Amino acid sequence: MKIIVTGGAGFLGSRVIRSLLANGGGKDGVPAFDSIVSVDLAPCPVEDPRVSSVTGDIADAAFAREIITEDTVGIYHLAAVLSGGSEQDFDLAMRVNVDGTRALLEAARATGNCPRFIFTSSLAVYGGPMPDVVPESLGLQPASTYGAQKAIGEFLVNDYSRKGFVDGRVCRLPTISVRPGKPNSAASSFASGIIREPLNGEASNCPVPLDTRMWLSSPDAAVKNLVHAIAVDGEKIGQWRTMNLPGVCVTVGEMLASLERVGGPAARALVTQEPEQRVIDIVCSWPGDFDVSRPLALGFVRDADFDSAVRQYKAEFVG
């Protein structure tokens, strides 16, 4: 029995794989498995005999059916063209984010076994006028190509679940901060950059106003929640399978205050404030706080505060 992880070579995907391997299957609600297949454009960095890497195009229906077979008990669909990249290349984003998602769902449907299907979505599905705290019932009004494509994916996973083709779980992730490595094409990439770079002695720019509210999660909390997503009983989630995963609400100014508390004034001084309208148009359309009482009741977790996320990054990756 196997679990498929698209985007398994990436930072989040590889961490999910490591956590699944460490926790094991067949207990605490996680389906029993003996192997994990990473599907990405590059090999998975996890070195374990239970992990294999497959490279290919997830929008290719034949490829999707090759990797998702009758012995597939779970599918993590993390691969995507991110927010900035989706704005720049609409056709590629449609192929990966929409066509790829449907190809995977169709392959899962073809197994006839209703595998668990975890789809990572985004708070970019929201836009327009919003209350200070967003309820789960708020209608979707995405203000970006990425947000629109993630909304399409959410509806697909919910309907395939309603039909009994998959046992879906849609996880709207907060912005992950602090990510290690280099900036990516996400419009929210600065949310890690304004912490990561200064802690490593490098300058970084904050492209949005300091009063911009962000909904954030540390990598550790995000991975715990994604592993829990495959374990939680689908009947307890209910008919509507979409959940806003817990995060913490902080302004960008409060993020920089956390940077100064953890890294000192010299680190804070490395952050400049030059506005970038492209980023503002996308990020400032997103909500900054959510009602997550239902996911918390289902066993999902949140960080205590943003300071702890900054300390986590510093302890693991700095010096």
Share of the chain above pLDDT 70, in %: 100
Is the pLDDT score of 222 beyond 90?
Answer: yes
pTM of the full structure: 0.94
Contact 223, 12 (CB under 8 A): yes
* Distance of alpha carbon 82 from alpha carbon 146, whole angstroms: 7
* Distance of alpha carbon 153 from alpha carbon 147, whole angstroms: 10
Is the pLDDT score of 80 beyond 80?
Answer: yes
* Distance of alpha carbon 135 from alpha carbon 153, whole angstroms: 20
Report the chain's mean pLDDT, rounded to a whole number: 95
Catalytic residue numbers read 146
Over range 261-290, report the average pLDDT: 94
Other beta carbons within 10 Å of 293: 11
* Distance of alpha carbon 199 from alpha carbon 202, whole angstroms: 7
The model's pLDDT over 171-208, given as tens digits with 9 standing for 90+, comes to 999 999 999 988 877 888 999 999 999 999 999 999 99
Which of 14, 29, 21 lies closest to 299 in space, CA to CA? 29
What is the arrangement of strands in the sheet containing 248-251, beginning at the earlier edge strand? 175-176, 213-217, 248-251
